[in-house]
Amino acid sequence: MEGILEAIRTVPPPAFHAAGSLDVASPDRPDTADWIDVVTWAEQSVNRMTALRAQAIELARQQAVGSSSNSMQQRAFAAELAAALTISERTAENLIGTSRVLVETLPATMTALAEGSIGYRHAQIMADQTAGLGPADAAALEVAILPQARTSTPPRFERRVRTARERLRPETIAERHRSAVDSRDVQLEPGRDGMA
């Protein structure tokens, strides 16, 4: 996490005529390109902070849940995060899952996000598309496709990642469906007052 914090601290805002007049007729007024530079810097800063958030969520998850598969602990952590961020528990669960994949499985994606060179949506796409891949396949996909995130919109990047994933794992849709059916499950946990 210290590396992400350092990356955030070392990126100064763009230099432009901040002291200049904002009067439309003033020659010292920042022009559109100056403001676009500020917007770009702000977006990169948001991406860096998003990487820090993902790292913090994963560290908090590890501390709260550890390697436990106890779904009550996991749900309690999701509920606590949801309350802290004023988001739904389902959104918190998605944030926790994406953060875990970024930190544990996709180090290059996490680094690119921390540098501000890709957006959170790009990182989410990588996390979603590597689901179900083994570590070696996920790493191969990341190496092959991540550079395209820097120059692609999220929808275009998602199509490219999906295509690359299909080439990496060319099994048929029927095989993937069968595998998904085989790995699904339903869990029932006892609750208070005779509820589950």
Mean pLDDT over the full length of the chain: 85
Q: If you average pLDDT over residues 169-175, what whole number do you get?
A: 71
Q: How far apart are the first and last CA of the chain?
A: 39
12 CB-near residues (< 8 Å, 6+ apart): none
Q: Could you tell me the pLDDT band of residue 38, with boundaries at 50, 70 and 90?
A: confident
Write out pLDDT tens, residues 173-194: 677 778 778 888 777 667 777 7
| 128-145 as b/e: b if 16+ CB within 10 A | bbbeebeeeebbebbeeb
pTM for the structure as a whole: 0.75
Domain ranges of the chain: 2-183
pLDDT of residue 12: 65
Q: CB of 73 within 8 A of CB of 65?
A: yes
